[in-house]
Structure 1
Amino acid sequence: MAARVQSEPFDPALVTAGLGDGAGALVTFVGIVRDDGDLSALEIEHYPGMTEAALADYGQGAAARFGLTGWRVVHRYGRMAVGEQIMMVATAARHRRAAFDAADYLMDWLKSRAPFWKREIRRDGSAAWVAARDEDEASLARWQAGRPLGPP
């Protein structure tokens, strides 16, 4: 069980190595900088130490909430071109539903609450910070179920 924040690309096979041992399910998700037709790159900033601690807290919360046998989160920072990997979530559990739900939970949290700041760089050289999106907040709200979001 681990959370990593790094600037360099990662190998999904290495991230998941040994994670599914003894589990009945291993779910992975890799986020990629998507081409919206005008995007050149994405720049991501974070506060070292604070970001890793937040990712670890939510990974541990997901493990407790969904009964995971293991989890890993890798998130990159710096400049990434269209098509490059941004992040990865991997969850392992005895049963598939728990692994899928935990991965979905972690993705919703990462998208809405993880302490990263994202700036889109357009092909014309202009740049703009990415604002929170209503659909991301709605996805996150699914997990609240009458209690504060976060570790149980």
Structure 2
Amino acid sequence: MSRPKPATFDKKKIVAENRKARFEYSIDTTYEAGIALTGTEVKSLRFGEGSIAESYAEVKDNQVWLVNANVPEFSHGNRFNHEAKRPRKLLLHEREINKLHGAVAREGMTLVPLSVYFNSRGRAKVELALAKGRKNHDKREAIKERDWKREAQRILKDRG
């Protein structure tokens, strides 16, 4: 029997992506989490604005929070507009939160958001990764491997 493929999430519209995270961290497992947003935040994200480049997640009081994610104020918002860099609650099952809390506390891992997207039902979701930071020599090794794969593809393309 073949090995089951890892779960992929149904991403319809990717709003923000943290591409640097895949280079800076070695990713162990990924989770799909809902995100609690206000109305103007959803509208701002639907326009494709938002950044998670310098954000992270933390477990506090049995809840997971997305910290330092930038969702700019909605241009047509009125006095009820939201704060751009406020902490946002991530919606996960209690079992998943306990698993994440244990990994962060005991194993020294980090919760890194990889992307913010809207799924097929129109719900805003965050792809959250449980990751461990890479050292400089690991990063250099990853660059060498990536360059070699690119060169191998180029050689195969020329011959085939």
TM-score of the two chains, using structure 1 as the length reference: 0.28
Larger Rg: 2
Give the number of the structure whose residues are more often strand, by fraction.
1
TM-score of the two chains, using structure 2 as the length reference: 0.27
